[in-house]
Amino acid sequence: MSMDTRDGGPAREVEHYVDPTPFNPAVTEEMTEEQEQFYQASQWQIMWWKFKRHKIAVWSGVVLILFYLCVPFAEVIAPYGPNTRDSLHLFAPPQSVHLFNEGEFVGPFVYGMTSQIDMETLQWVFTEDTENVQPIRFFCRGASYEFWGLFDADFHLFCPAEGGTLFLIGTDRLGRDQFSGLVYGARLSLTVGLVGVTISIVLGLFFGGIAGYFGGFLDSIIQRMIEIIRSMPELPLWMALSAALPVTWSPVWIYFGLTIILGLLDWPGLARAVRSKLLSLREEEYAKAAVLMGAKPKRVITRHLLPGFTSHIIASATLSIPAMILGETALSFLNLGLRRPAISWGVLLNEAQNISVVTVYPWLMAPVAPIIIVVLAFNFLGDGLRDAADPYK
């Protein structure tokens, strides 16, 4: 605001001034663009923003997506079939990938192996033959397979050189490629948790929903049940239940049996979370309003209460997937779960049960690595989701 003086006279008058910009009475309540976006965003959008800030969780998600790519595309990623035996390469050590041969760049390749039997220890001894350079082929045609059991194909992401071998992490006692085994094993190992968690969510929602919404007698019965199940050591029970699966069942049935067993003992944790959330949410005014307007319990629970804690359920479900993956691994490791020809990481680890074998052929422990990575990733992802689940905090 400038003040002009008309003449140098002593009696100066202040000129009447009007600010031409329109006046907005709500100026103090106005929001920045960022805030406006925040208030207009849906619940899920805010959760996503919050989740994105959790860097480790986001990267864990990426890692998991990469791992889960093995589920649909195992045949393409694995250079060999899961049960293909190479009788010339029993217990072959991992072939390391090189780029330079004698100072010359050849691209990714492996050295061929020559095998000899050591007559004293009766073991195959493999030596790298640096003369024999076997470049890895990419986007190539290799061993044929039936894609998803639907049609024959032989396309692979990468394959060994013609007439060569490519055992990235060695072979087992029957000469089966470990890397291909891991890729195929991911199929069962990674989905067992998802199916199991689905079962556990259904049971947890059902029992937790009843207990939390109706309360009273039903609540105390279900609470008791939960307490008892939680007080039993999981693994011995899993062992007993999976020992009860008929031996005559096909691998597919055993697999579903296992997921049911895993889900059956996991739901109490979820049911508890659902119950406590429901107990607090049903006291909220909007829930009361719905009841007063004559909504039936089913509608109140599913339409009004459930959306309020879906995010929590997802987060805690994510956190219970690793336990299931580990459960399957443990059971298959003990010969109580899946068996060949079905392949999971636990089945592969079964080969490493004997410690004297492992000391001679340490690469049999390879499945340990993906298991730890996946479990860690699920834990981080679950942590991130849990933090994001309550975005208004």
Beta-carbon contacts of residue 85 (< 8 Å; ≥ 6 apart): 174, 175, 176
Count the site residues for other proteins by CB under 8 A.
39
* Spatial CA neighbour of 286 closest among 310, 308, 312: 308
Site for other proteins contains 169 (CB under 8 A):
no
Task: Yes or no: say if 84 and 167 are a contact pair by the CB < 8 Å rule.
Answer: no
Site for other proteins contains 366 (CB under 8 A):
no
Site for other proteins contains 375 (CB under 8 A):
yes
Q: Which of the ranges 23-31, 103-111, 241-249, 307-315 carries the binding residues for other proteins, by CB under 8 A?
A: 241-249
Q: Which of the ranges 75-83, 196-204, 270-278, 369-377 carries the binding residues for other proteins, by CB under 8 A?
A: 369-377
Site for other proteins contains 359 (CB under 8 A):
yes
Per-position x/- string for 137-156, each x denoting binding to other proteins as judged by CB under 8 A, each - no binding: --------------------
Q: Which of the ranges 149-157, 180-188, 249-257, 348-356 carries the binding residues for other proteins, by CB under 8 A?
A: 348-356
Q: How far is CA 383 from the centre of its chain?
A: 13
The whole-angstrom separation of Cα 223 and Cα 200 is 16
* Spatial CA neighbour of 178 closest among 238, 117, 95: 95
Tokens 């259904």 identify what position?
202
Look at phi and psi of residue 47 and say left if phi exceeds 0, alpha if psi is from -120 to 50, else beta.
alpha
In degrees and rounded to multiples of 5, residue 391 shows phi and psi of -70, -20
Neighbouring C-beta atoms of residue 347, cutoff 10 Å: 27
Site for other proteins contains 235 (CB under 8 A):
yes
Residues in the chain: 393
- Between 81 and 384, whose beta carbon lies closer to other proteins? 384
Site for other proteins contains 106 (CB under 8 A):
no
Site for other proteins contains 203 (CB under 8 A):
no
Give the interface with other proteins as residue ranges (CB under 8 A). 227-228, 230-237, 239-241, 243-244, 246, 322, 326, 329-330, 333-336, 349, 352-353, 355, 358-359, 362, 365, 368, 371-372, 375-376, 379-380
